A and B are shown apart, each in its own frame.
Chain A
Amino acid sequence: MDVLVNPTESSLLRFTTAGSVDDGKSTLIGRLLYDSKSIFEDQLLAVEESSKRRGDAHVNLALLTDGLRAEREQGITIDVAYRYFATPKRKFIIADTPGHIQYTRNMVTGASTADLAIILIDARLGVIEQTMRHTYLASLLRIGHVVLAVNKMDLVNFDQAVYDRIVSEYMAFTAGLEYVPQIRPIPISALNGDNVVDHSTQTPWYEGPSLLEYLETVQVKPESVTGAARFPVQWVIRPISDQTDAKLGNLHDYRGFAGRVAGGTFRPGDEVVVHPSAMKSRIVGIHTFSGEEKEAISQLSYSMTLADEIDTSRGGMIVKAEEPIQSAHEFDAMICWFADKKTLKPRGKFHLRHTTNDVRAVVTEVLYKVNISTLEKSQDVLEFGLNDIGCIRIRTSAPIFFDAYSENRITGSFVLVDEQTNNTVAAGMILKPIADAFEEDAEVSI
């Protein structure tokens, strides 16, 4: 197996795959795993045996990802499956999302942590409604990079004209999106492996990279890395001990704010504002188990000590003083509704989870729903059913500290939790705060 033996030189790419039923998603993933030699003999043997038992004509690589009994019985993918492979250049985490019922819910879930989306198209069918839905979701979730994989090229005789027509149709559609990711079209045949790992001799007219080459080299940089510095407080570390630590000295008064940086970079000495009190302080130390750190960078976990005794705990937020964060009780957000037995209506109440914060929330208004095939906004039916997407206004029991989702995917996102079932029923992306009189007064009095 070609794996990264030297971890210091490797990076990580997280991607998701989208396509309609029978577009060959699972086959493509099976192909990537197989051709990068990430499938083990015993796994392949098990898949071969299952394929034979099911009477499949050839080895059904989809069985590698369809892990649940019900999936294997019905020959469909029910749930998001995560798969892993590595090449000498990069390590990959794939979120494979099913293409039928609950599709939107699964794709939104897979997309929320992805840097790149592979959108599959059947070359015989071209750009269809599903393609537009998948692309809209990738754009809504702000995935920076899209690979348009025009699959089953073998079934259209690797005809360049077919490919070119699909690509230009797709580009025309994406031009109308609010956020347009970087798009890389590639003609492939997942079944035969054309342009998946190696360049295909069948497409001499295609001069771009193979899919794997592209995945290995594409530069992804989440906005959060370069954006404003954000540190949601997850847990307060208080040893309450008179012991002396070799690195930290006497622990009696140690009070470290533990969390994972959600954007930007912090350094000791930085002036910070600590929410919810909005008090100013200064970072004294940034610690990990290895000792003092010179900086805290986005996505990594640390604990910080501050110069002043400030009252903050889980749900609080530390930001750089020169990069203020928004604080509001009420805001507009795009949401995707996940529940199949309940609908979302105005006045609906939920637990809202945002970073490490948990507050109660009420839907004050349903502003519009989006038809994700036509991108039209509609105010006809102001009730959300399974997989519906649209814009709502929410009021919370306590202010939350956030950025617009377009600025930061971590501080701009939330989920709604049903108060009876405790299920996660909606994913939300914050657009903008609603300034209210109460808030402005409160700011004046501080």
Chain B
Amino acid sequence: MSAMTHLQFLESEAIYILRETAAQFQKPALLFSGGKDSIVMAWLARKAFYPSKLPFPLLHVDTGHNFPEAMTYRDWFVNEIGAKLTVGSVQKSIDDGKVQEEKGHNASRNKLQTVTLLDTIEENQYDACLGGGRRDEEKARAKERFFSHRDEFGQWDPKNQRPELWNIFNGRKHFGEHFRVFPLSNWTEMDIWQYIRQENIPLPSLYFSHQRKIIERHGQLLDASTGIIPLLDEEIPKVKEMTIRFRTVGDATCTGAVESTASTIDDIVAEVAAARQTERGTRADDKRSETAMEDRKKEGYF
């Protein structure tokens, strides 16, 4: 008998979770940001239901602060795997007066996404949202379930979660409640990259080394080429052209770059293997407090 690699195990587990989600819920959606984790998750969904099409749409919560490369990729990918796309717009939530834009030069729409996400879930009556979150990403995520219950306000109660045993997942819920489902819970950043390499999955160019105008702010390397991040007057002379890549791709205002010459998947695997900082170390949204992630998740964040 052939031995199983850890990637085979993780792939099979994720496919199992994706099928459980389709089977246990009336109207699931797959949260798709154009970042590598959601790309891998959608890739696995295509495998799970092959030769059928995905039995659920991809849902992009659009902050309006996107890297153009991520949007180009999104549209290409959706077409490539033959999926349907739904977009929830943070700009629309702002225009409708449901949320207020943060003020100051550190303003980010990251936190506002939660409102848009919950509204989109309610409008479309999604009862399960598949997310690409991994337990190795962050200490609050390490406590997350595969099938994570959300009350009718979209809130997570980390101290009162359903135990998950063997491979039995309990998606029973009352009307108005929903679930977040995390098929990649047991994957690490390294697993994701090894899988991308194994499967030869195309990625947005942002993940590979390129030249970009960068402003360093609070030790983070932020994009200064798209104009999405407003610069202070005194910052303008400090903008530098640097050789960077992004380790995570999310809302442009809080996604930090790393200096890197890694231009192929092999280069990236080697770089990740040698990394001394977690990938979320480049995320401004987690730096706000020690329990920033837990606090956002309780409110209904991804």
Does A91 contact B6, Cβ atoms closer than 8 Å? yes
Q: In the complex, which of the residues B6, B53, B163, B191 contacts A11, with contact meaning CB atoms closer than 8 Å?
A: B6
| Residues in B neighbouring A238, C-beta threshold 8 A | 52
Known pairs A237-B49, A260-B16; A353 contacts B6 (CB<8 A): no
Q: Give the Cβ gap from B73 to chain A, nearest Cβ, in Å.
A: 21
* Stretch from B33-41, B102-110, B133-141 contacting the other chain: B133-141
- Asked if A188 is an interface residue, CB under 8 A from chain B, the answer is no
Does B165 contact A78, Cβ atoms closer than 8 Å? no
Q: Give the Cβ gap from A73 to chain B, nearest Cβ, in Å.
A: 10
- Asked if B291 is an interface residue, CB under 8 A from chain A, the answer is yes
Interface positions of A from 25 to 51, Cβ below 8 Å from B: 40-43, 46, 50
Does B275 contact A1, Cβ atoms closer than 8 Å? yes
- Asked if B186 is an interface residue, CB under 8 A from chain A, the answer is yes
| Residues in A neighbouring B49, C-beta threshold 8 A | 235, 237, 258
Does B140 contact A1, Cβ atoms closer than 8 Å? no
| Residues in A neighbouring B191, C-beta threshold 8 A | 91
Q: Give the Cβ gap from A240 to chain B, nearest Cβ, in Å.
A: 8
What is the CA–CA distance of A180 and B273 in the complex, to the nearest angstrom?
39
Q: Give the Cβ gap from B277 to chain A, nearest Cβ, in Å.
A: 5
* Stretch from A319-327, A396-404, A411-419 contacting the other chain: A411-419
* Interface-centre pick from B7, B8, B11, B52 (highest chain A CB count, 10 A): B52
What is the CA–CA distance of A389 and B72 in the complex, to the nearest angstrom?
56
Does A237 contact B51, Cβ atoms closer than 8 Å? yes
Known pairs A109-B163, A265-B1; A84 contacts B136 (CB<8 A): yes
Interface positions of B from 132 to 181, Cβ below 8 Å from A: 135-136, 138-143, 158-159, 161-168, 170, 172-174
| Residues in A neighbouring B161, C-beta threshold 8 A | 79
* Stretch from B18-26, B60-68, B83-91, B209-217 contacting the other chain: B18-26
Interface positions of A from 93 to 110, Cβ below 8 Å from B: 93, 105-106, 108-109
Does A258 contact B135, Cβ atoms closer than 8 Å? no
- Asked if B205 is an interface residue, CB under 8 A from chain A, the answer is no
Does B52 contact A237, Cβ atoms closer than 8 Å? yes
Interface positions of A from 43 to 100, Cβ below 8 Å from B: 43, 46, 50, 64-70, 72, 78-84, 86, 91, 93
Does B52 contact A11, Cβ atoms closer than 8 Å? no
- Asked if B200 is an interface residue, CB under 8 A from chain A, the answer is no
| Residues in A neighbouring B47, C-beta threshold 8 A | 288-289
Q: In the complex, which of the residues A8, A81, A256 contacts B143, with contact meaning CB atoms closer than 8 Å?
A: A81
Q: Give the Cβ gap from B230 to chain A, nearest Cβ, in Å.
A: 27
Does B52 contact A84, Cβ atoms closer than 8 Å? no
Chain A, residue nearest B163 (CB) = A109
- 11 more contacts with CB within 8 A, not counting A5-B194, A108-B165, A288-B50, are A9-B5, A12-B6, A40-B277, A68-B159, A79-B143, A82-B135, A235-B19, A254-B51, A299-B9, A413-B166, A415-B165
- List residues of chain B with CB under 8 Å of any chain A CB: 1-9, 11-12, 15-16, 19-20, 22-23, 46-53, 135-136, 138-143, 158-159, 161-168, 170, 172-174, 185-186, 188, 190-191, 194, 198, 269-270, 272-278, 281, 290-291, 294-295
Closest 6 CB pairs of A and B: A67-B139, A289-B47, A422-B172, A112-B165, A12-B6, A301-B15
